[in-house]
Amino acid sequence: MAIHPIEFRYGNPEMKELWTENYRFCCLFRVEAALARAEEEVGMIPKGAAGDIENAAEKANPDRAKVIEDEIGHDMMAVVLALAESCEWAGEWVHLGATSNDILDTATGLQIKTSLNVLEEKLKRVLEVLLDRAAEHKNLVCAGRTHGQIAVPTTYGLRFAIWASEVARHLERLAQLRPRAAVGKMSGAVGTQAAFGSAGMTLQSKVMENLDLNEVDVSNQVVQRDRHAEMICWMGLVVTTLDKICVEIRSLQRSEIGEVQEVFGKRQVGSSTMPHKRNPIKSEQVCGLARVVRAQIEPALANMVLWDERDLTNSSCERIVFPEAFIMTDHLLGLTARILEGLTIRPDRVEQNLNLLRGLNMAEAVMVELAKRGAGRQQAHEILRRCSTTALEEDRELAKVLADEEVVAQHLSPEEIRELLDPHRYIGTAVEQVERLDDILRPLLD
């Protein structure tokens, strides 16, 4: 019976497969085979033993390893014995000189490497959608909001572009952390490589070369967990950006704002009792599950603190932290891309909200122009503050209040005031910024 929602509700098959028990066993067997190949090359095991072990690794049975573990109570030794049983004659040479975490941590490095590659492609997909939507809506002027209140205008293109820039920084961070996080090692029981003799450093390099994996510069019995903590923190950053995007979508979909709409299927049900409802449930799912990924940061940081050359406190929680973080992050990236692709923007409501304050959101434009024409910045600010207050209290258009203001009338004609209060004329370099960002970031998709 399925228990965890990852088993039946969340996650994509490609990423889930990378964290299944069977795939984990395949990685462990693969590392043992790579170790045997390197040991044969440096003369530690007989000629031909590596080939026999490699053949055994391809057919070794994970179920047999689990049976052995039930008998002996040691997961890694069970893998060793199951692999040795599958050999024709070289079983005695399996795992020579290695400690459990030489194999376990290196196998984790393989899983991390492949999983980060998957996340990179999903991130690029989100970036592409954001750039496309930014270009599509670069000229769509809308109400900007600060503190939840309508401010001067912005554009939907600039909103999408800002999110795209943030996603691109996550790609940059990924390129930086990947060689630190996707690593393996062959360091022995406490890090001295004593069991491998003078060939230890050469052997480690050969194993990682065989696996196409980066090697640590130095370690004790385990790969140091700051590498993994950085990776989990990065995933926390990624999902928090998705959370941020979806919070904005949820806010803009409020009935009283109504500028955007999540895609809603023809037979989709919004509520069991209110038939009219169209809830932003996909965005809400992103915001909710982002909390689960961020929750993995604390144990990942705590795993850095191990006794002496190592203890076992990191092992149990990593069996949960790594799969949950990767599977949920992958799920949220895919879901967010679909939300953004299907997002409907309603220009009529955008325009309605843009003019909701009847010119008040354009007070800055008038203030700046008055200052330029000699009224002075401080005096202009006070005039617009006072006129805005009057317009609000008397429920009047700002243009009409300004027309009655003597200092304003000295510097601006009624036609000039109307032009200054046109929000479509006050978006600065928003369009140019979107176009420049597209030129900068589009090559990242190649």
CA neighbor of 114 nearest in space, from 185, 27, 173, 33 = 27
User: Of 45, 48, 152, 144, whose CA–CA distance to 367 is shortest?
Assistant: 152
Catalytic residues, which ones? 147, 271
Q: Which of 366, 344, 345, 346 is closest to 423 using CA atoms?
A: 366
Phi, psi of 266 (to 5 degrees): -60, -35
> Could you tell me the sign of the dihedral formed by the alpha carbons of 239, 240, 241, 242, in that order?
positive
Q: How far is 341 from 5, CA to CA, in rounded Å?
A: 25
209 token code pair: 């070369």
Contact, 101 vs 28, CB < 8 A? no
Return d(Cα 306, Cα 311) in angstroms, integer. Answer: 6
To which H or E segment does residue 234 belong? helix 226-252
Q: Where are the beta strands (DSSP E) in 157-196?
A: 183-184
Single out the residue of 93, 19, 18 nearest to residue 54, CA to CA: 93
Report d(CA 238, CA 222) in Å as an integer. 27
